[in-house]
Amino acid sequence: MSVFNIDNSCAFIDELKNKIGYDVILFGLDNMSYYGLLQDIDSSNIATLVPAILSASGLVEIQNPAEVSAALNTVSIELCSIISFGYDITADPFVLPDDNAEDVPPQEEVTVSAQPCINLDCKCDPDGLIDKLIESQQLIAVSTLGGFIFAGNIKSLQHRLLKLIPEYIFAPGGDGSTLFSIGKVVINLEAATAVGS
Q: What are the beta bridge partners of residue 175?
A: none
| pTM, to two decimals | 0.80
| SS3 letters across 69-135 | EEEECCEEEEHHHEEEEEEEECCCCCCCCCCCCCCCCCCCCCCCCCCCCCCCCCCCCCHHHHHHHHH
Higher pLDDT, 107 or 122: 122
Q: What is the pLDDT of residue 82?
A: 95
**Of 122 and 4, the one with more pLDDT:** 4
Q: Which pLDDT score is estimated for 126?
A: 53
Segment 164-174, tens digit of pLDDT:
999 989 888 75
For the segment 30-86, what is each residue's pLDDT rounded down to a tens digit?
889 999 999 999 999 999 999 999 998 899 999 887 776 788 899 999 998 999 999
Under DSSP, the state recorded for 190 is: G
Average pLDDT over the chain, rounded to an integer:
79
Side-chain half-sphere CA neighbours of 99 within 13 A: 0
pLDDT of residue 174: 59
With b for 16 or more beta-carbon neighbours within 10 A and e for fewer, the 14-46 pattern comes to ebbeebeeebbbbbbbebbbbbbbbbebeeebe
**Which domains does the chain show, CATH number per domain?**
6-196 (2.30.30.100)
pLDDT score of 104: 34
Residues 173 and 31: beta-carbon distance below 8 Å: yes
